[in-house]
Structure 1
Amino acid sequence: MSFLAKSEQPSSYPNYRIWLDTIYLRSWLAVFLSMSGTFLLLLTLSTVVYAQTGSAFWSAAVFASQWVLAILSPPVVAWLAQRFQPVMLLAWADFLAAAVVIAAGLIFPVSLVACLVLLAIHGVLDAINRSLRVLPLKAHVPPEHLKAAVAYFSTAQYLAFGVGPLVGILLVDRLTVLGIAALDALSFVASGCLYLSFRKLTIGMGDAFSGFAALWRETRAVVAKNALLRRALLYLIVIVSLYQGFHNVARSEFAFRYLGMSLDGTMYVQLVASVGIVFGALLAGRVSRHLPAYSSALPLLIATALGCLAIFLPLGREAVLVLYGVFMALFEVAFMVCQAEAVAECPLPSLPAVNAGSFAAMTTGMMLMVFAGAAATDLTSLFTVALTIGVAALALGLLVNRQTPHVAGSD
């Protein structure tokens, strides 16, 4: 079944190249621009709040605030995707996000709490974007190239995670929070315009369900009958909850307390992490076609746990930063191998609901990890938190394997 007009459909022949596909490239650039601006703003706010309060909890709350309302968004995202074209939803979510971040920049000097509320609203718009932006790939990219396309597509976000702190190093002492917010808003406007540039791409989502209950019944049925999809989704939730959550706690704490760096130390730690993540995404793009998540997820999760503990080795600052990059590269390979499997296995009409649901679950887990991990870090140490997470990762991985029995041909 074709979901696109012939004029928008790439060839499925061997000559297809991802980096010559203009729709793919525009989608990639839209994500890169919007995420660069957003991460610059969030990282700046997190750094300023930590400098003012000295608390890992409040610093982490800047990022965690985006997830509070996002965890409630799956029904809304799924309903919208059934009734409106996903490309237009992506564009308008970005335009609305531009207005919200300007408001957050204006209110920050007056009230941190009010700023966090606006960031929570921004988080809903971000959830819409994250849940839908892979749909043009699923519908447009030939199936034999899809796993690699999904893995390489993530480099847009992770290069943005590097550009954000790099720009932050240059601007954190030169621009106000409102100035940074204005740059973020411009990035959203540019991203929205890129989505509008291929608004004629029509993604067929099938007949709309009569209500939320029918939609979620169908979504649960899709996941329940496909063990490959189910295991990939469960590992995604575990990996992101534990290790993305840990990174959000560690970013400022590690720079200030363990490495003895100054105000821009958070930016340097994130820059190193971003380099590792991009390397991991590129590696995942090369191996995802040959590395099934069903059999490789647990070994990759264990490798990530060991990489996380390695950053506490008593080495010099430069060596520890390299190890932090290696840890984040291992995290990204584990994440992308599972995500590529999930996108490839999920039917297109169910993908918005499955993406939104898994994003909400990952976000909930990550939010709990951030708040619990930050509080535990203030009470104990970051190393204690990392060790506890490692034990939890092994236990949860074994539990997932037990709950998703072996499927013939999945190795």
Structure 2
Amino acid sequence: MNSSADAPVSRDARSWFAIRTLALSMLASTTGTNLILVALSIQLFMEKSSLAATGIYVAQFLPVMILMPVAWRICDRMAVRRALVVLECASAATTLLVGLAMSADALWLAYALLFVRGFTDMTTKAARGVAVKQLAPAGQVASANNLVNGASYVGQCLGALLGALLVTIAGPLTIACVNAGTFLASAMLCLLLPMVAGQAAARGGYAEMFSRAMAAFRRDETVRRAMALLVGTVVFLQGYNQVARYWIPLAWLELPAGAGALTEGLGLIGVIGGLLVVSRFFTGEKKRKPEMTWAFGIACIAMLLPFATQLPAVSLALYLAFMFLFEISFLLTMNTLLFRADEADVPCLLVLFYGLSFGGMAVVATLLAACADTLGLPLPAAGLCLLGACFAAWIGSRPGKQRIQDAI
């Protein structure tokens, strides 16, 4: 009797062990992702221009848009544990080569290597999303995703903080060695995950991917809306933040180079705050169409808050508020997408999300950086804010037909 009653508890305990391990690996991996990116972008911003610094992010984030079918096959056909270990080891090796290229002042070679690393990194993120859907206890996908994505953003902020600090005391090769160690730590953690067979459903190229995604959107309008707002969150909000995170302290507030670490620390506080709010008030598995739209729209408006004053304490506090609202928007939309989508559609949808959103983010960040070099950031940010608000209004007003009625 007792062993029978304890079986579901045991299964849930194993599932949560796997999710916590996945979150720790995400923390290590995303710390590494941002560590060298931020260090190099600050170095290039100080030595060259905003556009040269943003080129680091373009090289990192464009590859999945170009190679989406390849990423889809990896996430769909390979067992997620094997995929994560191989990808993390490849990221470690490529990062060391980036450090060597920067030490030799071979900037274009570094960009090319970051393109390769960008593919492995974005595919790793998509694979982790698949793992959340596969490994989370029944009915607890949102809670599991809050933990894993919270670890992702904490890792990004920690990596950026370390990068901003290390760039003042160490060269690019030393930073790359530290960075590679985080990827190897993530790979070792991934070895502890259970082996779950892949779907083996990925076939064809871009046409097949988009066809499968459109079928998922037709089946469930909430999936379509969550996907649109999730892509918008990364393209508009994170695209802005790739420039704002160093432009606000170094150009708007004219603080010394080490102040880049201050905005990263404040970003970390904002992310943790947003994670706590979503975990406390938005963990129920339900449709969240109004909340998603409003969260995105308000976060778009918050982009302009840091430019209301050049008092460092106030401007930086307003930047923290933006990061808080950004995290809420991201988690609400990602949780809804993962819960509502069929498991067989998740690899396709997540690769599509990472390809479109991070590729779009790189384009937005490049345009903002180019404008910031001549016009400053407030005016281009106002234009981006207006576009984001219009996008939120359009998504929120589309009638959409709900094809599946779930009693949730």
- Give the TM-score taking structure 1 as reference length: 0.90
Q: Report the Cα distance in structure 1 between the residues aligned to 2:385 and 2:177, rounded to whole angstroms.
A: 39
The equivalent residue for 2:201 is: 208
Paired residues of 1:148 and 1:286 also in contact (CA < 8 A): no
CA contact (8 A) 1:165 1:268 kept: no
Q: In structure 2, which of residues 220, 223, 230 is the aligned counterpart of residue 226 of structure 1? A: 220
Structure 1 residues 294-303 or 157-166, which shifts more?
Answer: 157-166
Match of residue 370 from structure 1: 365
In structure 2, do the counterparts of structure 1 residues 370 and 32 end up closer, same or farther at CA, with 3 Å as the change threshold? same
Residues 15 and 188 of structure 1, relative CA distance in 2, 3 Å threshold: closer
Residue 390 of structure 1 aligns with which residue? 385
CA distance 1:78–1:161, shift in 2 (3 Å): closer
CA pair 318-141 structure 1, distance change in 2 beyond 3 A: same
- Equivalents in 2 of 1:121, 1:88: separation in Å? 19
Unaligned runs of 5+ in 1: 1-9
Matching residue within 17, 21, 38 for 2:16: 21
**How far off is 1:84 after superposition?**
1.7
For residue 337 of structure 1, the aligned residue among 325, 332, 339 is: 332
Shift of residue 52, structure 1, vs aligned partner:
0.8
* Alignment match, 1:4: none
Unaligned runs of 5+ in 2: 1-5
Do 2:75 and 2:130's aligned partners in 1 also have CA atoms closer than 8 Å? Answer: no
Where does residue 5 of structure 1 map in the other structure? none
Distance in 1, Cα, partners of 2:16 & 2:219: 33
Aligned residue in 2 for 1:282: 276
How far off its partner does 1:159 sit? 1.5
Q: Which amino acid aligns with 1:191?
A: S
Equivalent position to 1:70, from 45, 53, 64 = 64
Cα distance change, pair 21–115 in 1 and its aligned pair in 2 (3 A):
same
1:238 matched to 2:229? The reply is no
Match of 1:147 among 138, 142, 149: 142
Sequence identity percentage? 21
Instruction: Tell me, in whole angstroms, the C-alpha distance in 2 between the residues paired with 1:161 and 1:81.
Output: 22
Q: TM-score, with normalisation over the residues of structure 2?
A: 0.91
Could you tell me whether the CA contact under 8 Å between 2:54 and 2:366 is conserved in 1?
yes
The AA in structure 1 aligned to 2:326 is F
CA separation in 2, counterparts of 1:186 and 1:295?
Answer: 42
Q: Deviations over 1:337-392 (max 9, x none)?
A: 00100001111121111100111111122112111111121221211122111110
Structure-1 residue corresponding to 2:3:
none
Q: Give the Cα–Cα distance (whole angstroms) in 2 for the partners of residues 385 and 17 of structure 1.
A: 49
The whole-number CA distance in structure 1 between the counterparts of 2:274 and 2:100 is 37
User: SS in structure 2 opposite 1:175?
Assistant: coil
Q: State the match for 1:96 in structure 2.
A: 90
- Count of residues paired in the alignment: 398
Distance (Å, rounded) in 1 between the aligned partners of 2:65 and 2:101? 24
> SS at 2:139's partner residue?
helix
The answer on 1:181 being equivalent to 2:176 is yes
Mapping for residues 25-40 of structure 1, pairs under 5 Å: 25-40=20-35
Identify the match of residue 157 of structure 1 among 152, 157, 182.
152
**Could you tell me which amino acid in structure 2 is paired with residue 379 of structure 1?**
T
Deviation per residue, 1:47-82 (Å, 9 max, x gap): 1111111x1111111122112222123211222233
How far the C-alpha of 1:216 sits from its partner, in A, is 4.6
Cα RMSD over matched residues? 2.4
Structure 1 residue 319: deviation in Å?
A: 2.0
Q: 1:282 is matched by which residue type in structure 2?
A: L
* 2:120 alignment counterpart: 125
